[in-house]
Amino acid sequence: MSLYGGMSKGERNRIKIRVRSAMAAQAQTEGRYLGGRPPYGYRLADAGPHPNPGKASHGQRLRRLEVDPTAAPVVERIFTEYLAGRGLLTIAERLTREDIPSPSAHDPARNRHRLHAGGAWSKAAIRAILTNPRYTGRQVWNKQRRDEVLIDIDDVALGHETRMRWNDPTMWVWSIELVHEPLITPTQFEMVQGRLATHAHLKTEPKRRTRARRYVLSGLVTCGLCNRRMQGSWNHGAAHYRCTYANEYARARGLDHPKAVYVKESAIVPRLDAWILDLFDPANLDATCAALASADGSDDARMAVVEAARRRIADCDDRLAKYRAALDAGADPAIVARWIADVRRQREEAAAQLDEAPPAPALTKAELKAMLLSLKDLAGALRNADPADKAELYAELGIRVRYEPGERVIVAQAQPTLACSQRRVGGPMRTRRPRRFSGPSWRWRSQGNGAGPCEQSWSGEAHLHLSPDR
In contact, 120 and 96? CB cutoff 8 Å: yes
**Residue 363: its pLDDT value, please?**
57
Report which of 131, 40, 122 is spatially closest to residue 89, judged by C-alpha positions.
122
Indicate the SS3 state at residue 23: helix
Share above pLDDT 90 across residues of the chain, in percent, rounded to a whole number: 15
The residues, any chain, with a CB within 8 Å of residue 105's CB and separated by 6 or more, are 111, 117, 119
Do 271 and 399 meet the contact criterion of CB atoms below 8 Å apart? no
pLDDT digits (tens, 9 = 90+) for 403-453: 888 888 888 887 765 443 333 333 333 333 343 434 433 333 333 333 333
Q: What is the pLDDT of residues 247-288, one digit of tens each?
A: 777 665 556 778 888 888 888 888 888 887 777 777 777 776
CA-to-CA distance for 246 and 99, rounded, in angstroms?
17
DSSP3 helix / strand / coil % (the chain, rounded to 5):
45, 20, 35
Give the global pTM: 0.62
Q: How far apart are CA 230 and CA 241, in angstroms?
A: 6
DSSP 256: -
User: What would you report as the CA-atom Rg of the chain, rounded to the nearest whole angstrom?
Assistant: 27
Please report which helix (H) or strand (E) contains residue 460, including its range. Answer: none
Among the residue ranges 76-85, 266-275, 328-337, the one predicted with the least confidence is 328-337
Q: In the structure, what pLDDT confidence band is assigned to residue 192 with cuts at 50, 70 and 90?
A: very high
- Lowest mean pLDDT across 33-42, 95-104, 151-160: 151-160
User: From residue 384, how far is each of 290, 326, 372, 429 by CA, in Å?
Assistant: 30, 67, 20, 30
Q: 5 to each of 16, 156, 175, 428, how far by Cα in Å?
A: 16, 14, 38, 17
Q: 194, exposed or middle or buried, with CB in 10 Å at 0-12, 13-18, 19+?
A: exposed
Contact between 164 and 144 (Cβ < 8 Å)? yes
Average pLDDT score over residue span 110-121 = 68
* pLDDT reported for residue 25: 92
288, 279 Cβ separation under 8 angstroms: yes
